[in-house]
Copies of this chain bind each other. A is one copy, B any other.
Amino acid sequence: MTSLVNKISGAVSPLKVGATVDTGLKLKEDDPHEGTVSLDKVPGKIIIVGVPGAFTPPCSSHVPGYVQNEDKFLAKGIKEIYVVAVNDAFCTKAWKKELGAEGSKVHFLADDTGAFTTKVGMLFDASGLLGNHRAQRYVAVVEDGKVTHFEVEDEAPTVEKTKADNILAQL
């Protein structure tokens, strides 16, 4: 019943400026049975947005900033934006629909075992509010697999450093 740890192997490689995203893992997007999306060493510029939980009020105010500003991110050379949550693929999909992000370049990825979030050093104990371990709120801008900008909130409910506007201003 160690639901989060049993699938995680290999060293943790925390996200930070200069780090390479190379987890060896795939995340679930449309297929709940199997991970199909790798964020490892993706060519070009992408953004990874880590969030504590689908349908939570802070995340539901945080993520729309990326959806609404999609064009501005694309104009800055960002190819895709990946929202990653330790939720199952059914919840991330339902949440994407609720936020009106279908058809956008903002992908909602389910790290349902927490393996990816653990590998990038972003897992924290959210048992009190959410019952298990989740992702901290963070944003990594990644170019050809290397982190060029990285922000993590001191407290998961806070949306300041990781706000779309703040990230846009840095690009």
A2-B1, A3-B4, A123-B1 known; A91 and B129 CB under 8 Å? no
Q: Among the listed B32, B129, B133, which residue makes an inter-chain contact with A130, where contact means beta carbons less than 8 Å apart? A: B32
Q: How far is the CA of A3 from the CA of B95 in the complex (A)?
A: 23
A1-B133, A112-B132, A132-B132 known; A7 and B88 CB under 8 Å? no
Is A98 among interface residues, defined by CB-CB distance under 8 A? yes
Q: How far is the CA of A129 from the CA of B55 in the complex (A)?
A: 20
Which A residues are within 8 Å of any B CB, using their own CB?
Answer: 1-7, 32-33, 53-57, 86-88, 90-91, 93-95, 98, 110-114, 118, 123, 125, 127-133
Chosen A-B contacts, 16 in total, with CB atoms closer than 8 Å, are A2-B5, A3-B132, A3-B133, A4-B132, A6-B127, A32-B129, A33-B128, A55-B90, A56-B88, A88-B129, A88-B130, A94-B95, A110-B131, A111-B131, A113-B127, A114-B131
